[in-house]
Amino acid sequence: MSKMDIDENFHAPVRIGILSIEGFAMMSYASLAEPFRGANRLSENSLYEIIDIGVNDNPVQSSGAANIVPSATVGEILKLDYLFVVAGGDPLSFNDEKVMNWLRRMARTGLRLGGVSGGPVILARAGLMNGRRMTLHWEHEKMLAEILPSLLIERTLYVIDRDRVTCAGGTTALDLTHALIAQHHGTSFARSVSEWFLHTEIRPSFSAQRGSLAERVGSTNNAILSSVQMMESHIADPLTLNHLASIAEISPRQLNRLFIQKLGRSIMKYYRELRLENSQKLLVNSSLTLTEIALATGFSGSSHFSRTYTAYFGKPPSQARR
């Protein structure tokens, strides 16, 4: 397989830390870690490096017979691009302050912080999901919402919101890793990795609550669908036309022409409308300030957001909130 261009925000190998919490589900761990290892094997390059992390030096016992032997421990300052917390069992009872403080310290280094299954619960309780959209396994959702009612919880497979990545766990991590590998190396290579694991029905992030992506978008064109999937995963940190075209593996001009022909508007106009519709939901369903909503939906500030919102909906965001 030919050498691929990597996302300009990363340099190979992308270093991915996985902090497994005692009692984690092996299904969640494997669905997260193995596609990255598979990407290395298929590309015959070291595209990704997995660093297993433990609370201490002891092997971390899963909910079954398997365990993970860590190569790093909580407390170390590690050079990572992503740090995922994988937890199961009862993450709401997890209160190890050493871990919480370390996660906060690692977050300040600028890496992308993620949680899988019950992992988002730990991130939220550490105060690391404030003002960020998130998801988690359904069995933890109700209780977490009662404890922290200001959280922006979505009933979806996974959510990528700027420097936070959350996933419901189990096999949904396969869909998340497909999206991340596609972002780094393009849709075709990500599809090859998924097919290698016999994961041929790749679900977009919103699958849990909504109809199929093709039904919602109104097109079956692969370039359009892969672009919209990436747009929905990057609401707060909008991708450029060039980046979207790179992921779709066609030229920016071709991609824009497809959107105009099939959907009746340019790709960036479609993207802006998608972000505005998300902002409307936040206005109605959250207590975030206008500035926080603006940043959560990819606008530079409340003034820019208010002008764009008013032009699109015909009324200012303050009226929608009332």
Q: Is the pLDDT of residue 179 over 60?
A: yes
C-alpha–C-alpha distance, residues 227 and 85, integer Å: 28
Q: Mean pLDDT across the stretch 285-302?
A: 86
Q: Is the pLDDT of residue 181 over 70?
A: yes
Q: What pLDDT does 3 receive?
A: 40
Confidence label for 322 from pLDDT (cuts 50, 70 and 90): low
Q: Is the pLDDT of residue 217 over 90?
A: no
Q: Mean pLDDT across the stretch 171-178?
A: 93
Percentage, residues of the chain above pLDDT 90: 62
C-beta neighbour count of 132 within 10 angstroms: 21
pLDDT per residue as tens digits for the range 44-81: 999 999 999 999 999 999 988 889 999 999 999 899 99
Helix (H) or strand (E) holding 117: strand 112-117
C-alpha–C-alpha distance, residues 50 and 181, integer Å: 14
Confidence label for 206 from pLDDT (cuts 50, 70 and 90): low
Q: What pLDDT does 320 receive?
A: 80
Q: Is the pLDDT of residue 187 over 70?
A: yes
Q: What are phi and psi of 62, to 5 degrees?
A: -80, -175
Residue 216 token pair: 């919602």
Q: Strands 14-20 and 48-54: what pairing?
A: parallel
Q: What does the mean pLDDT of the chain come to?
A: 89
Q: Mean pLDDT across the stretch 176-180?
A: 94
pLDDT per residue as tens digits for the range 125-167: 999 999 889 999 888 888 888 888 888 888 889 999 999 999 9
Confidence label for 2 from pLDDT (cuts 50, 70 and 90): very low
**Are residues 293 and 283 in contact, defined by beta-carbon separation less than 8 angstroms?**
yes
Q: Is the peptide bond before 238 cis (omega within 30 degrees of 0)?
A: no
Whole-structure pTM over 0.85, yes or no? no
pLDDT per residue as tens digits for the range 90-109: 898 899 999 999 999 999 99
Q: What pLDDT does 310 receive?
A: 95
Domains of the chain: residue spans and CATH: 14-177 (3.40.50.880), 214-317 (1.10.10.60)
| 167 vs 12, residue with greater confidence | 167
Confidence label for 4 from pLDDT (cuts 50, 70 and 90): very low
Confidence label for 9 from pLDDT (cuts 50, 70 and 90): low
Q: Mean pLDDT across the stretch 290-296?
A: 89
Q: Is the pLDDT of residue 37 over 60?
A: yes
C-alpha–C-alpha distance, residues 287 and 196, integer Å: 44
Q: What pLDDT does 6 receive?
A: 44
